[in-house]
Chain A
């Protein structure tokens, strides 16, 4: 919750929350499960790490209920690196979020990768000082999350598959609808709001600015430098890499290569150079063969 101190310093305001997302643009946020992995990520040039118990590929394999990480693990990772540390709470689990805020994490991901705790309500993110990122598969979902206080949106993709196809689908859906809305006349915006099940003022803001009111990053299935280049050229402003790094044969060089790809995403010569000799990427999964579609969680 926003607060003003004696000296006129205001913390937790929307600008301060969105501000950190702005600083992460053009960068790579990496899933890590140990302080050692966090160091590898920082050494490779990650702009932040996401501390979690198991990467999505393992959550998918193991099944069962996936929850917030052990605070001890999160603290260990905070002590290991100087870059921002994010952590995941279950959808609607506002007490996990309170705990993560008490741990002083820099961003909370209200994430479909964990098992949802509430089937009707996302967390009221305005109630927190710590900023939140939420996943979205389409523009309506993105605007609903923003109306609940999310300060960063990540397109969901399908986490833990190493398959970029869903990330591309979600990005194209969100950005395609933004493009259409900017062409709509003022009367059509009412219908857009209804179709998207999103607040009219946010729809109007998108129509005026041609972009979301918060940064939009991409997640779910990125496993090569080319994947990072693809989603950045499609319009993502930064990338989350989950299983793609630490489930590959040689994580450190792949992490560094994806960082360089996110910066030089328009230069195919640099993308070619950094893609060389990285060893085996993580094994991928076909979307049609999945038992659980994580992107379907949340609404």
Chain B
């Protein structure tokens, strides 16, 4: 199995490092040729406006939309969540959101950097909480009936799944904890 990490901008190197720790072949994806080769995909945190523009610059928006429509399993963290959402509130006009998961997100909903935080996240069925790091994070404002909420923080969803699409408001790649990545690559 080859897991692609969208490497246009952001914390793609950290995701790669976690995947390498798990002995999973991780490849950086910057072109449609590279995208065509992967079996799973991680869309990392970063600035969603910049990543959105770079998707256009590198002619990746349409190929990525097609692969997502074909059911490519994907993990989206923070900016990745914004790109996979069906609607973005307080976004940048025209920024891509591919609608891979039926959720509305509010960009920077947790506030500016002064309000960035980490907190233990209780995940259903997991023995120990996961160290959630939230950086200028998006809020999952609402999720459709198809969406499974796997974890909440103070009543707000922070980790969700719809089919093979997994999204988090926080950054599992910043934690020294590989469980979310392991779970993602082991799904189905």
Contacts and interface: CB of A to CB of B under 8 A. Distances in A.
A166 B7 CA distance: 28
Contacts of A262: 9
B46 A26 contact: yes
A237 to B, nearest CB: 8
Interface stretch (A43-51, A62-70, A188-196, A286-294): A43-51
A127 interface: no
B116 A11 contact: yes
Nearest to B133: A19
Interface string A103-138: 011110000000000000000000001110000000
Contacts of B78: 23
A68 to B, nearest CB: 18
Interface residues of A, number: 42
B167 to A, nearest CB: 16
B114 A15 contact: no
A22 interface: yes
B54 A9 contact: no
Nearest to B135: A19
B58 A264 contact: yes
B30 A9 contact: no
B50 interface: yes
B43 to A, nearest CB: 13
Interface string B102-124: 00000110001111111110000
Contact of A15 (B49, B115, B118): B118
A7 B154 contact: yes
Size category of the B interface is 35 or more
A25 B11 contact: yes
A26 B10 CA distance: 6
A46 B53 CA distance: 10
A141 interface: no
A147 interface: no
Given A25-B9, A47-B46, A263-B54, A9 B135 contact: no
B136 interface: yes
Instruction: Summarize A's interface: helix, strand, loop or mixed.
Output: loop
Nearest to B117: A9
A16 B30 contact: no
Interface in B35-66: 45-47, 49-50, 53-54, 57-58
B113 A259 contact: no
A7 B154 CA distance: 8
B119 A10 contact: yes
A7 B117 CA distance: 11
A42 interface: yes
Given A20-B116, A45-B53, A84-B113, A27 B30 contact: no
A190 to B, nearest CB: 28
B91 A26 contact: no
Contacts of A19: 116, 133, 135, 171, 174
A22 B14 contact: yes
Interface string A242-260: 0000000000000010011
26 contacts: A16-B117, A16-B118, A19-B133, A19-B135, A23-B11, A23-B78, A26-B7, A27-B9, A27-B10, A27-B50, A42-B92, A45-B53, A47-B46, A47-B47, A101-B114, A104-B112, A104-B114, A105-B113, A106-B113, A106-B114, A129-B114, A130-B113, A259-B54, A260-B58, A263-B9, A264-B58
Interface of B: 7-14, 30, 45-47, 49-50, 53-54, 57-58, 78-79, 90-92, 107-108, 112-120, 133, 135-136, 154, 171, 174
Interface of A: 5, 7-13, 15-16, 19-20, 22-27, 42, 44-48, 82-84, 101, 104-107, 129-131, 256, 259-260, 262-264, 267
